[in-house]
Amino acid sequence: MRPLVIAIDGPSGAGKGTVARVIAGELGYRHVDSGAMYRAVGWKALRDAVPLDDDAAVAALAEAAAIDVTGTQVTIDGIDVTRAIRTPDIDRAAAGVARLPRVRSVLVARQREMGADGGIVMEGRDIGTVVFPDADVKLYLDASPDERARRRANDPAHTGVPAAVADVATLLTQRDEIDRTRTASPLYAAGDAIVVDTTGKSVDQVVSEAMALIRRQF
């Protein structure tokens, strides 16, 4: 069977991470969370006090950084930032650096390298539109704002402890707005993506819908 490139996009809390991980596990593919790369760059920019709106400086910092994203760990320059990048400060820093076109080209080039031989499930905001416009399968996962906020609030990777849903909902809405309205690679579903509304659906349901679509490509 030919190793496919599977692109999964959508806003935060739509279920991309869980679904991408399970699908990659079933297919024996590599799972890459591209958002973790923007988070790691945001983390390093904050640490080094590089202004988050300075495209040239943040791009240089990203270019110089060794970023490694596996299914379970994120490191930048050998430092394990797996947990450190899941905080509200880094939510904001990542969304900030992700608006910068030069930073995006550094990370997009690395993402393309990772997918060059196929056998990859990559999740993000622009995977089906920019990173892999010729992906074999493009999914766009969405869910109602309430459900997305509930999921995010109860995700211990993000909050450490369950957070107030209303607070998370406000932050999610702000971040969605930045992601959807930015000039560089805004979040939208590719014309040839299959949009799956995950509201009220279990992970199993979404995974079986996705696997049915993927099997058609073999």
Judged by beta carbon, residue 130 or residue 207, the one nearer ligand C5P is 130
With CB under 6 A as the contact rule, the residue among 32, 34, 76, 196 that binds ligand C5P is: 34
Judged by beta carbon, residue 61 or residue 212, the one nearer ligand C5P is 61
Q: Three-state SS across the chain?
A: CCCCEEEEECCCCCCHHHHHHHHHHHHCCEEEEHHHHHHHHHHHHHHCCCCCCCHHHHHHHHHHCCEEECCCCEEECCEECCCCCCCHHHHHHHHHHCCCHHHHHHHHHHHHHHCCCCCEEEEECCHHHHHCCCCCEEEEEECCHHHHHHHHHCCHHHHCCCCCHHHHHHHHHHHHHHHHHCCCCCCCCCCCCEEEECCCCCHHHHHHHHHHHHHCCC
Supply 209's token pair: 């819908």
Judged by beta carbon, residue 76 or residue 216, the one nearer ligand C5P is 76
Stretch that binds ligand C5P, among 72-80, 92-100, 142-150, 166-174 (CB under 6 A): 92-100
Judged by beta carbon, residue 12 or residue 198, the one nearer ligand C5P is 12
Total of chain residues touching ligand C5P, rule CB under 6 A = 14
With CB under 6 A as the contact rule, the residue among 39, 44, 110, 151 that binds ligand C5P is: 39
Cβ neighbours, 10 Å, residue 216: 9
Supply the minimum distance, in Å, between the C-beta of residue 126 and ligand C5P. Answer: 5
Supply the minimum distance, in Å, between the C-beta of residue 215 and ligand C5P. Answer: 25
Query: What is the rounded CA–CA span in Å between residue 179 and residue 126?
Result: 10
Supply the minimum distance, in Å, between the C-beta of residue 17 and ligand C5P. Answer: 8
Site string for ligand C5P, 103-142 (x = CB under 6 A): ---------------------xxxx---------------
Site string for ligand C5P, 178-207 (x = CB under 6 A): -x----------------------------
Is residue 43 part of the contact set for ligand C5P (CB under 6 A)?
no
Supply the minimum distance, in Å, between the C-beta of residue 180 and ligand C5P. Answer: 10
Judged by beta carbon, residue 39 or residue 138, the one nearer ligand C5P is 39
8 CB-near residues (< 8 Å, 6+ apart): 16, 19, 20, 23, 121, 122, 123, 124, 127, 139, 140, 141
